[in-house]
């Protein structure tokens, strides 16, 4: 049975819940009922046919997937998602039964899909809606339609994270996904990057803010408590601690990404840590975050005070999106830095699917935008309207493109009709983003005129 209901009235993000079990459904319903003012459109699908229909034709922004649902037969669903990269532009919250195994199996089962977090059934009432709000407020990181609106070569982002252990994987999953969506790292590396960042953020909360040591943690856990409960108790006892935030910030360039994890605590003995590393070698490194950072080929450094960690990840040139079904036999274009992909004024008889690389868009010689794998296509507007090219596109960092002519495009749409809906939705988002940018430009021009700067609009 498939049905839709609204939380709060107006449609914002579309959330698909794939579940047929009564107990998780009750917990999900209770979670949504806690905040009737927040607005979601929710589609529920409780069988395989409906689940595939929702994913193919409704194209939700968020999918809540019960991976331990015995009636849903997830293998065909997972297989369809893995084989079709166009159906991967959403974030997944995976629900699971602790009695069926730990959460690590979830990520192994769903790799390379965009699993933002795995949530045990008992955590649904307290955390599901909170996680949905995090995704909603950072939706642009799931389907990023622009890398920079100002022509800058560097893209930045930042999260301010409270002392909430349950929310940390969600934030770090979104941060890691920004690199996957841009084709800067392979999707198979995303989970390791997410865990490495989560461990570094968690260290900032546990040690930098709460001052926890292994003895205190072990004693609390031995009594049946959880780390999240221990941190929550400390925050309830100390209002100053409760207000502290960990800042997760990133800077993305074509060659590398730097993540900065900054806490508001007193720091730690960096000199002592470096001395142990010097005399004892790699075995002096403790902590899963540090080990994963090394496994990723990343470089981990700290400031002198010890309250800022910097994780640098180099981008392998082979990263990029996988090719969607239907276009496997099309021409692959190898673009090198400085190459002209197409010129303003040219006839538009094909469009490009972006596998990897970064590309600059210029109108009358003026830089207008940057494009990358997260934008999915380039040249689709003039292609679909049979107009000449309205801009020139130059390759800024080497990459690969799929050149698709009109006949192949129409043939593929007939084989995979949901692609048409996906493309329409993608273009609508781009137009909406362009309209917002133009509105801001007009407002800036008006307020910058003499006499206007003194008035608030």
Distance in angstroms (rounded) separating the CA atoms of residues 153 and 450: 32
Residue 306 in 3-state DSSP?
A: coil
Distance in angstroms (rounded) separating the CA atoms of residues 89 and 92: 10
Distance in angstroms (rounded) separating the CA atoms of residues 97 and 43: 22
Distance in angstroms (rounded) separating the CA atoms of residues 372 and 180: 11
Concatenated DSSP letters for 216-277?
A: HHHHHHHTT--HHHHHHHHHHH-HHHHT--EEEEEEE-SSEEEEEEE-SS----HHHHHHHH
Model pLDDT for residues 113-161, shown as the tens digit of each residue = 778 888 999 999 988 988 888 887 776 555 443 333 333 456 788 899 9
Kindly state the tokens that stand for 327. Answer: 């276009």
Residue 86, pLDDT score = 62
Residue 57 in 3-state DSSP?
A: helix
Q: Does domain 331-416 have CATH number 3.90.1150.10?
A: no
Distance in angstroms (rounded) separating the CA atoms of residues 238 and 129: 26
Angle at which helices 22-33 and 124-137 cross, to 10°: 60
- The answer to whether residues 32 and 42 touch, using CB atoms and an 8 Å cutoff, is yes
Three-class secondary structure assignment of 388-422: ECCCEEEEEECEEEEEEEHHHHHHHHHHCCHHHHH
- The answer to whether residues 24 and 124 touch, using CB atoms and an 8 Å cutoff, is yes
Distance in angstroms (rounded) separating the CA atoms of residues 85 and 79: 11
User: Do 331-416 and 1-137 have the same topology in CATH?
Assistant: no
Domain boundaries, the chain: 1-137, 143-319, 331-416, 429-457
C-alpha separations of 410 from 40, 87, 328, 350 in Å: 34, 19, 15, 11
Query: 206: pLDDT confidence band, cut at 50, 70 and 90?
Result: very high
Residues 403-409, mean pLDDT to the nearest whole number:
87
Q: Does domain 143-319 have CATH number 3.10.180.10?
A: no
The lowest-confidence range among 35-39, 281-285, 309-313, 452-456 is: 452-456
- The answer to whether residues 46 and 73 touch, using CB atoms and an 8 Å cutoff, is no
Distance in angstroms (rounded) separating the CA atoms of residues 1 and 74: 16
**Nearest residue to 60 (alpha-carbon basis) of 74, 76, 83, 44:** 44
CATH superfamily of 1-137: Response regulator (3.40.50.2300)
Query: 162: pLDDT confidence band, cut at 50, 70 and 90?
Result: very high
Burial class (CB in 10 A: 0-12, 13-18, 19+), 406: middle
What is the reported pTM? 0.63
Query: 318: pLDDT confidence band, cut at 50, 70 and 90?
Result: very low
Residue 196 in 3-state DSSP?
A: helix
Q: In the predicted model, is pLDDT for residue 448 greater than 70? A: no
**Nearest residue to 142 (alpha-carbon basis) of 78, 93, 201, 96:** 93
Residues 6+ apart with CB under 8 A from 438: none
- The answer to whether residues 359 and 341 touch, using CB atoms and an 8 Å cutoff, is yes
Distance in angstroms (rounded) separating the CA atoms of residues 90 and 354: 18
Chain-wide mean pLDDT for the chain? Answer: 80
Residue 17, pLDDT score = 93
């Amino acid at each position: 049975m498939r049905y839709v209901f609204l939380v709060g009235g107006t449609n914002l993000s579309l959330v698909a819940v794939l579940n047929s079990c009564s107990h998780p459904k009750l917990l999900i319903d209770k979670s949504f009922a806690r905040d009737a003012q927040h607005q979601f459109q929710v589609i529920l699908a409780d069988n395989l046919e409906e689940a595939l229909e929702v994913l193919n034709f409704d194209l939700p922004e968020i999918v809540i997937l019960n991976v331990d649902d015995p009636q849903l037969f997830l293998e065909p669903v997972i297989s369809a998602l893995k084989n079709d990269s166009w159906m991967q532009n959403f974030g997944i919250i995976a629900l699971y039964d602790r009695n069926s195994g730990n959460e690590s199996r979830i990520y192994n089962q769903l790799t390379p899909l965009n699993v933002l977090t795995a949530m045990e059934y008992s955590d649904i009432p307290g955390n599901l809606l909170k996680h949905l709000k995090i995704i909603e407020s950072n939706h642009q990181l799931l389907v990023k339609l622009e890398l920079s609106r100002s022509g800058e070569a560097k893209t930045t982002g930042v999260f301010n994270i409270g002392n909430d252990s349950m929310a940390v994987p969600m934030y770090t999953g979104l941060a890691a996904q920004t690199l996957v969506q841009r084709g800067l790292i392979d999707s198979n590396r995303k989970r390791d990057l997410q865990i490495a960042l989560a461990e570094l953020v968690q260290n900032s909360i546990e040690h930098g803010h709460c001052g926890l040591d292994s003895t205190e943690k072990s004693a609390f856990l031995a009594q049946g408590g959880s780390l999240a409960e221990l941190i929550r108790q400390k925050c309830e006892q100390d209002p100053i601690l409760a207000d502290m935030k960990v800042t997760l910030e990133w800077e993305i360039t074509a060659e590398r990404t730097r993540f900065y994890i900054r806490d508001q605590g007193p720091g730690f003995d960096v000199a002592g840590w470096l001395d142990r590393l010097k005399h004892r070698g790699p075995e002096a490194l403790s902590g899963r975050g540090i080990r994963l950072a090394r496994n990723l080929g990343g470089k981990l450094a700290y400031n002198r005070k010890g309250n800022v960690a910097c994780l640098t990840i180099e981008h392998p040139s082979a990263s990029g999106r996988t090719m969607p079904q239907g276009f496997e036999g099309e021409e692959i274009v190898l673009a090198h830095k400085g190459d002209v992909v197409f010129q303003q004024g040219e006839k538009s008889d094909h469009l490009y699917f972006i596998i990897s690389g970064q590309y600059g868009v210029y109108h009358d010689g003026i830089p207008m935008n940057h494009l990358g794998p997260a934008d999915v296509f380039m040249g689709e507007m003039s292609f679909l309207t049979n107009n000449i090219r309205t801009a020139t596109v130059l390759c800024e960092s080497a990459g690969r493109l799929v050149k698709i002519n009109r006949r192949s495009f129409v043939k593929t749409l007939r084989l995979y009709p949901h692609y048409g809906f996906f493309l329409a939705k993608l273009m609508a988002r781009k137009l909406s983003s362009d309209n917002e940018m133009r509105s801001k430009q007009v407002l800036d021009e008006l307020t910058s005129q003499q006499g206007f700067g003194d008035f608030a609009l």
